[in-house]
Amino acid sequence: MEQKETCFAKRVRCIVKLGGAAITSKHKLETIDEENLKEVSSHLRQAFVPDSTSANVLGMDWSRRPGQSEAPSFVDDFSDQPAGDSESFIVVHGAGSFGHFQASMSGVHKGGLSRPLVKAGFVATRISVTSLNLEIVRALAREGIPSIGMSPFSCGWSTCQRNMTKADISMVIKAIDYGFIPVLHGDAVLDTLQECTILSGDVIIRHLAAELKPEFVVFLTDVLGVYDRPPAEPGAVLIQEIAVREDGSWSVVKPKLEDTSKPVEFTVAAHDTTGGMVTKITEAAMIAKLGIDVYITKAATEHSVKALSGILKGGIPDDWLGTAIRYMS
Amino acid sequence: MEQKETCFAKRVRCIVKLGGAAITSKHKLETIDEENLKEVSSHLRQAFVPDSTSANVLGMDWSRRPGQSEAPSFVDDFSDQPAGDSESFIVVHGAGSFGHFQASMSGVHKGGLSRPLVKAGFVATRISVTSLNLEIVRALAREGIPSIGMSPFSCGWSTCQRNMTKADISMVIKAIDYGFIPVLHGDAVLDTLQECTILSGDVIIRHLAAELKPEFVVFLTDVLGVYDRPPAEPGAVLIQEIAVREDGSWSVVKPKLEDTSKPVEFTVAAHDTTGGMVTKITEAAMIAKLGIDVYITKAATEHSVKALSGILKGGIPDDWLGTAIRYMS
Mean pLDDT of A228-249: 86
pLDDT digits (tens, 9 = 90+) for B21-70: 999 998 889 999 999 999 999 999 999 998 888 888 888 999 987 777 77
Per-residue pLDDT band for A269 (boundaries 50, 70, 90) equals very low
According to the annotation, is B21 in a ligand binding site? Answer: no
User: Which comes out higher in pLDDT, residue A75 or A303?
Assistant: A303
Mean pLDDT of A107-123: 94
What count of CB pairs under 8 Å joins A to B? Answer: 198
Cβ–Cβ gap A137/B127 under 8 Å? yes
How much is the pLDDT for B78? 74
Q: What distance, in Å, lies between the first and last C-alpha atoms of chain B?
A: 27
Mean pLDDT of A35-39: 97
- Which range has the top average pLDDT, A74-78, A273-277, B228-232? B228-232
What CATH architecture does domain A1-53+85-214 belong to? 3-Layer(aba) Sandwich (3.40)
Q: Is the pLDDT of residue A46 over 50?
A: yes
* Helix and strand counts by DSSP (H, E) for chain B: 9, 15
Tell me whether the omega of the peptide bond preceding residue A255 falls within 30 degrees of 0, making it cis: yes
**DSSP label at B157?**
-
CB proximity under 8 Å: A 32-91 to B? 58-64, 69-71, 75, 78-83
How much is the pLDDT for A277? 61
Q: What single letter denotes the amino acid at residue B106?
A: S
Contacts with B128 from chain A: Cβ below 8 Å: 62-63
How much is the pLDDT for B16? 98
% pLDDT > 70, chain A: 87
3-state secondary structure of B102: helix
Rounded to a whole number of angstroms, the distance from the CA of A291 to the nearest CA of chain B is 30
- Long-range contacts: A255-260, Cβ < 8 Å, 24+? A257/A228
ipTM confidence? 0.92
Rounded to a whole number of angstroms, the distance from the CA of A173 to the nearest CA of chain B is 11
Cβ–Cβ gap B75/A115 under 8 Å? no
Distance from C-alpha of B112 to C-alpha of B196, rounded to nearest angstrom: 7
Q: Where do the DSSP E strands lie in chain B?
A: 14-18, 89-93, 147-149, 158-160, 163-166, 181-185, 187-191, 195-199, 216-221, 226-227, 238-239, 241-244, 250-254, 293-298, 323-327
Distance from C-alpha of B130 to C-alpha of A149, rounded to nearest angstrom: 9
Contacts with B63 from chain A: Cβ below 8 Å: 30, 124, 127-128, 131
Contacts with A158 from chain B: Cβ below 8 Å: 174
Distance from C-alpha of B190 to C-alpha of B138, rounded to nearest angstrom: 27
Distance from C-alpha of B214 to C-alpha of B207, rounded to nearest angstrom: 11
Distance from C-alpha of A108 to C-alpha of A89, rounded to nearest angstrom: 30
How much is the pLDDT for B52? 83
Per-residue pLDDT band for A68 (boundaries 50, 70, 90) equals confident
**SS3 assignment for chain A:** CECCCCCCCCCCCEEEEECHHHHECCCCCCCECHHHHHHHHHHHHHHHCCCCCCCCCCCCCCCCCCCCCCCCCCHHHCCCCCCCCCCCEEEEECCCCCCHHHHHHHCHHHCCCCCHHHHHHHHHHHHHHHHHHHHHHHHHHHCCCCEEECCCCCCCCEEECCEEEECCCHHHHHHHHCCCEEEEECEEEEECCCEEEEECHHHHHHHHHHHHCCCEEEEEECCCCEECCCCCCCCCCEECEEEECCCCCEEEEECCCCCCCCCHHHHHHHHHHHHCHHHHHHHHHHHHCCCCEEEEEECCCHHHHHHHHCHHHHCCCCCCCCEEEEECC
From B138, which residue of chain A is nearest by alpha-carbon distance? Answer: A127
Per-residue pLDDT band for B266 (boundaries 50, 70, 90) equals very low
Distance from C-alpha of A96 to C-alpha of A222, rounded to nearest angstrom: 11
CATH superfamily of B1-49+85-214: Acetylglutamate kinase-like (3.40.1160.10)
According to the annotation, is B319 in a ligand binding site? Answer: no
CB proximity under 8 Å: B 120-159 to A? 120-124, 126-128, 130-131, 134, 137-138, 141, 146-151, 153-156, 158
Q: Is the pLDDT of residue B86 over 60?
A: yes
% pLDDT > 90, chain A: 64
Please, what is the Cα angle at A288 between A284 and A294, to 5 degrees? 60
How much is the pLDDT for A32? 96
Sheet of strand A163-166: strand arrangement: A163-166, A158-160, A187-191, A195-199
Q: Is the pLDDT of residue B166 over 90?
A: no
Distance from C-alpha of B86 to C-alpha of A140, rounded to nearest angstrom: 38
Cβ–Cβ gap A116/B147 under 8 Å? no
How much is the pLDDT for A84? 61
The two beta strands, A187-191 and A89-93, are: unpaired
Cβ–Cβ gap A120/B179 under 8 Å? no
Q: Which residues of A are annotated as a binding site for substrate?
A: 95, 100
% pLDDT > 90, chain B: 64
Contacts with B126 from chain A: Cβ below 8 Å: 137, 148-149
Mean pLDDT of A284-313: 96
Distance from C-alpha of B283 to C-alpha of B210, rounded to nearest angstrom: 11
Q: Is the pLDDT of residue B296 over 50?
A: yes
Q: Is the pLDDT of residue B210 over 70?
A: yes
How much is the pLDDT for B165? 86
Mean pLDDT of A135-150: 97
3-state secondary structure of B172: helix
User: Is the separation of the CB atoms in B30 and B311 below 8 Å?
Assistant: no
Burial class (CB in 10 A: 0-12, 13-18, 19+), A190: buried
Question: Would you call A196 an interface residue with chain B, using a CB distance cutoff of 8 Å?
Answer: yes
- Which range has the top average pLDDT, B65-69, B72-76, B144-148? B144-148
Cβ–Cβ gap B101/A130 under 8 Å? no
Contacts of B42 (CB under 8 A, 6+ apart): B54, B143
Distance from C-alpha of A121 to C-alpha of A132, rounded to nearest angstrom: 17
Distance from C-alpha of B135 to C-alpha of A272, rounded to nearest angstrom: 37
How much is the pLDDT for A22? 94
Mean pLDDT of A166-193: 95
Cβ–Cβ gap A123/B148 under 8 Å? yes
The two beta strands, A238-239 and A226-227, are: antiparallel
The whole-chain average pLDDT of chain A stands at 87
The whole-chain average pLDDT of chain B stands at 87
| Range with the poorest average pLDDT among A33-42, A222-231, B293-302, B320-329 | A222-231
Mean pLDDT of A96-101: 91
pLDDT digits (tens, 9 = 90+) for B271-287: 343 345 666 777 799 99
CB nearest to A120's CB, from B78, B168, B178 = B78
Domain spans of chain B? Answer: 1-49+85-214, 221-329
What crossing angle do the helices spanning B277-288 and B264-275 adopt, rounded to 10°?
A: 120
Rounded to a whole number of angstroms, the distance from the CA of A277 to the nearest CA of chain B is 28
Distance from C-alpha of B304 to C-alpha of A160, rounded to nearest angstrom: 41
Phi, psi of B14 (to 5 degrees): -155, 145
